[in-house]
Structure formats: structure tokens, C-alpha cells
């Protein structure tokens, strides 16, 4: 029998206490922060191991690729073994990756370390969201919009901390500190989660032996990995497309669909997904919004540094308002449970960012640049929360962990594709003309997101969060089968 999630009185007044939410929020930041802070150490790594910039950049790519595959896979394992168990296992893998990277004697060992870090940190988000949903349904609190908003805010904070933290660690201790820092962080998060999160339910019907292998769906995972990695590699450099990957992607995707339709416990329930139009549109919208967010973030920052002449530190300071506005708006709309309105406003803000960029050049004042980044921050803060909440409402409870992992994979598709969009826009040299091409793309992506949102009548206008009932708070912390509160 599992332990109770909280006392009756405590659960009624605070259904999501800090001891429960803090390790989940910390865990959800570990993947993106490891993605960004390594940028400050690539030059030192290349010099120490005598590799070129293309090889050192593989350290960034391997984490993205492993994460895109591992996120839904960890969600699938959470369904079988319990989200708490998989969360703790992921943090243990992160610990191992930090140790390996800090003592790596060769460059290939660093690649192994980054793969471990990508796989380990990928467990945190899908299992964290599943744990939140399990607790919300057990306590009968409806859609926990404020907690979903906290996940969005944690992502905004990561944007602020990644590069400065990486620069501080590299400057003070060298690039190995970028790997070693994961060791104490993993220990802290593991202890907090071990003490603060209720045990998974013990299931007597859990498959064993060959039945367990079938339930894990290894062929489905391999097909999904092949299709996803091939697609990401193709999208990563459209300046010189690897065209032979196109038939590979088509073949692997077709094989994945055919296999998953026949699998007893598929990684991806393609039958459910095919019948769930609103969820399909949420994933597609997240790809579009992710493409816009990452194109704007990387395009604006690169232009500021290389065309407008600002230093890396100054660019970091100019981007601070982006995260500040995103944090404030995410808290505002999540407290009120607004969903449809923020998605519409986020798309309009992205179009506005593009319009401001169109009339901006390298001589623009700091105030104009700050205004542009604040407008862009509105897109990030509004869209991130609203799409996560829509995913929560539209996903079946029993497959929510996998659905959350696929949501992150959709974000990676947008992030990887943005690199090609920026490369095609700027060409061989970052300039005002290339920046204006980026601006037109942002306007177009914002308009597309606006049309997709306006045309989708299944997006909820608002979701409701209720106080936990004392009777519900006495139930076990087992995954409930009830649907979340019906949105308006």
C-alpha cells in the first residue's frame, strides 16, 4: 500500500505543499539549463581535446537528440513502474553523467556524459507532470493551473540563469565544473523528492519477465528514436539538406504507426491520438510556437552581439526583461486559469515582436531593444502556460506521462528547426537585412499561431481549480481514473 499524500487537514489547505512541488520544479529545469550553460565551455573543451567547433557542438546536439527520444520513453516507464520511481532513477542517471563528465579523459567520454545527462534530466518533466496530475485527481482539486504555471515560470527562470551560470562556473573553475555541478544538484533534488513525494502504488498486476519487455514496447521505442533523430538531423541544417533522410523518415514513421497500432501496450497510443483531434492540434501548435520562440530568442541575441555590437554580458542583461515579463504574465494567467485568451495574445505579441524588429537596425537605442524583448517575453510567458494547460485537459489520465514527454519532443522539433531558419535568414554574415528576414518570419509564425488558435474551438477558455475536499485527501496516492474538471 502506498503512503498517503498528506494529512487530511494539510491537503485541504495546501494540496501542493512546497516539499512536493520544489523537487519537481527543480528537476524540470535541469534539462534546459544543461542545454544552455554548456555554451560557455565549448571553446575550452575544443582546445583541451583538440577538436574543431563542429565536433564540440556535438555535445549540444547529443543532449537534444537524447532528450527528444527519452522524454516520452520516460513517460512510458512511469506508467509501468510509477512516476516517483522513474523520477528518482532519472536523477540518479544525472548524477552518473555529472561524475563521468567531470573526470572525462577523452572527448568521446564527454559525449557519453552528455547522453546520460540528457536521458536522466528527461525523466523529470513527464514524471513531474504525472505526479501533479495523480495528486490533483486524488485530492479532487480540478485542473491545478497555478502549479502548471509554476512549471512555466521555472522555464522562464532557466532562460535567465543558463548562460550566466555557465559563464560563472567556467570562469571560476573551468569547463569541467559545467558537468560537476550536476553532482550536488542531483543529490539535493533526489533527497527532496525521496522525502517529499509519496511512494508509488504497489501493483500486483505489474508485468514481469517477457511480459514486462512486451509492455515496455522496445520495438516502438527504437522506431520512435529512429524517426525522431532522423527528423531532427534533417531539420537541423536546411542550408545543406541531407535529402536521403527523407525516405528514411517516412519509412520509420510508417513502421512506427503500423507497429503501435498492433502493440498491446504501445509507447504511443496512435489510435487514441488519431481520434483525439484537439490533442493533435495542441502538439502542432506547440511546434509552431516553439519555432517562433527559439527563432526569436536565438535570432535576436545573435543579432545583438554580432551586428549591434553588444557583448555577451550586455546581451544577457538586455534579455532579462524577456524572462521578467514572462514570469509575471505566467503567474497572472495561471492564477486565474485563463487559457484561450493567453494563446491569442501570445500569438499577437509574437507578431508585434516581428513588427518592431522590422523597423529596428543596429543603431537602435537600448530602450527599443528592451521593449522588443519585453514584447517577446509576453509570447513566451502566455503561450507556454496555456499550451501546457491545454495538454493537461486534452490528454487521458492513464497516458498523461507519455503525452507530456511528447509535448517536450514537440518543443525540441521547434528548437532544432529554428537553427535552420536562422541560418537561412542570416546567410554567411549576421546583418540588419538578415535580421529583418527573421522579423518577417516571426510575423508569419505569429499569424499562423493566431489562426490555429482562433479556429480551434476545443481550446478551453478557462480552467477551474478547486479546494481539496477532506474526504478526497484521505485517499491513497494512487493514479485516479477520473477526468480533470471540465473546462468552460
DSSP 111-131: HHHHHHHHHHHHTHHHHHHHH
Strands (E), 176-215: none
Residue percentage of the chain with pLDDT more than 90: 58
- 82 pLDDT tier (thresholds 50, 70, 90): very high
Q: Is the dihedral of CA 93, 283, 342, 75 positive or negative?
A: negative
- 428 pLDDT tier (thresholds 50, 70, 90): confident
44-53, 354-363, 374-383 — which is least confidently predicted?
44-53
- Domain at 16-199: CATH code: 1.20.1250.20
- C-alpha 95/C-alpha 92 separation (Å) is 5
As a residue count, the chain comes to 488
pLDDT per position as a tens digit, 7-30: 444 444 688 999 999 999 999 999
- 313 or 293, which is more confident: 293
| CB neighbours of residue 144 within 10 Å | 27
Mean of the pLDDT values across residues 50-56?
A: 77
Mean of the pLDDT values across residues 365-371?
A: 92
- Domain at 269-462: CATH code: 1.20.1250.20
pLDDT at 318 over 70: yes
- 305 pLDDT tier (thresholds 50, 70, 90): confident
Q: Quick check: helix, strand or coil at residue 89?
A: helix
Q: Quick check: helix, strand or coil at residue 142?
A: strand
pLDDT of residue 13: 61
pLDDT at 2 over 90: no
Amino acid at each position: 500500500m502506498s503512503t498517503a499524500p498528506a494529512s487530511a487537514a494539510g491537503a485541504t489547505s495546501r494540496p501542493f505543499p512546497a516539499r512536493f512541488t520544489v523537487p519537481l520544479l527543480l528537476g524540470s529545469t535541469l534539462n534546459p539549463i544543461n542545454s544552455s550553460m554548456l555554451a560557455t565551455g565549448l571553446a575550452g573543451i575544443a582546445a583541451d581535446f583538440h577538436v574543431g567547433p563542429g565536433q564540440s557542438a556535438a555535445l549540444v546536439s547529443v543532449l537534444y537528440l537524447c532528450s527528444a527520444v527519452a522524454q516520452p520513453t520516460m513517460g512510458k516507464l512511469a506508467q509501468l513502474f510509477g512516476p516517483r520511481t522513474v523520477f528518482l532513477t532519472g536523477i540518479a542517471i544525472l548524477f552518473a553523467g555529472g561524475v563521468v563528465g567531470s573526470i572525462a579523459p577523452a572527448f568521446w567520454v564527454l559525449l557519453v556524459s552528455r547522453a546520460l545527462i540528457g536521458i536522466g534530466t528527461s525523466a523529470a518533466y513527464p514524471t513531474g507532470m504525472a505526479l501533479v496530475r495523480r495528486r490533483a485527481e486524488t485530492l479532487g482539486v480540478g485542473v491545478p493551473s497555478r502549479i502548471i504555471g509554476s512549471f512555466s515560470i521555472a522555464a522562464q527562470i532557466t532562460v535567465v540563469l543558463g548562460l550566466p551560470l555557465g559563464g560563472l562556473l567556467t570562469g571560476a573553475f573551468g569547463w569541467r565544473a559545467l558537468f560537476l555541478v550536476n553532482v550536488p544538484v542531483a543529490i539535493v533534488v533526489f533527497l527532496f523528492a525521496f522525502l517529499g513525494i509519496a511512494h508509488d502504488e504497489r501493483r500486483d498486476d505489474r508485468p514481469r519477465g517477457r511480459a514486462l519487455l512486451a509492455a515496455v514496447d522496445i520495438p516502438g521505442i527504437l522506431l520512435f528514436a529512429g524517426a525522431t533523430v532522423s527528423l531532427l538531423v534533417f531539420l537541423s541544417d536546411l542550408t545543406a539538406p541531407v535529402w536521403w533522410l527523407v525516405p528514411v523518415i517516412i519509412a520509420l514513421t510508417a513502421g512506427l504507426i503500423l507497429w503501435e497500432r498492433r502493440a498491446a501496450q504501445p509507447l504511443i497510443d496512435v489510435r487514441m491520438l488519431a481520434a483525439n483531434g484537439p490533442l493533435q492540434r495542441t502538439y502542432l501548435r506547440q511546434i509552431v510556437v516553439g519555432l517562433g520562440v527559439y527563432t526569436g530568442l536565438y535570432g535576436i541575441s545573435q543579432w545583438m552581439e554580432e551586428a549591434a555590437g553588444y557583448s555577451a554580458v550586455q546581451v544577457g542583461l538586455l534579455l532579462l526583461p524577456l524572462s521578467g515579463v514572462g514570469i509575471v504574465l505566467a503567474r497572472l494567467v495561471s492564477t486565474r486559469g485563463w487559457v484561450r485568451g493567453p494563446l491569442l495574445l501570445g500569438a499577437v505579441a509574437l507578431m508585434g515582436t516581428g513588427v518592431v524588429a522590422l523597423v529596428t537596425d543596429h543603431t537602435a537605442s537600448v530602450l527599443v531593444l528592451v521593449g522588443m524583448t519585453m514584447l517577446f517575453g509576453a509570447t513566451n510567458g502566455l503561450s507556454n502556460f496555456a499550451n501546457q494547460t491545454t495538454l493537461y485537459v486534452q490528454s487521458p489520465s492513464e497516458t498523461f506521462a507519455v503525452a507530456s514527454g511528447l509535448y517536450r519532443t514537440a518543443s525540441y522539433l521547434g528548437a532544432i528547426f529554428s537553427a535552420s531558419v536562422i541560418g537561412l535568414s542570416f546567410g554567411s554574415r549576421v546583418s540588419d537585412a538578415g535580421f529583418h528576414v527573421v522579423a518577417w518570419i516571426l510575423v508569419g509564425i505569429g499569424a499562423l499561431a493566431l489562426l490555429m488558435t482562433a479556429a480551434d474551438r476545443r481550446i478551453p477558455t478557462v480552467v477551474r481549480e478547486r479546494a481539496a475536499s477532506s474526504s478526497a485527501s484521505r485517499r491513497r496516492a494512487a493514479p485516479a481514473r477520473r477526468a480533470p474538471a471540465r473546462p468552460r
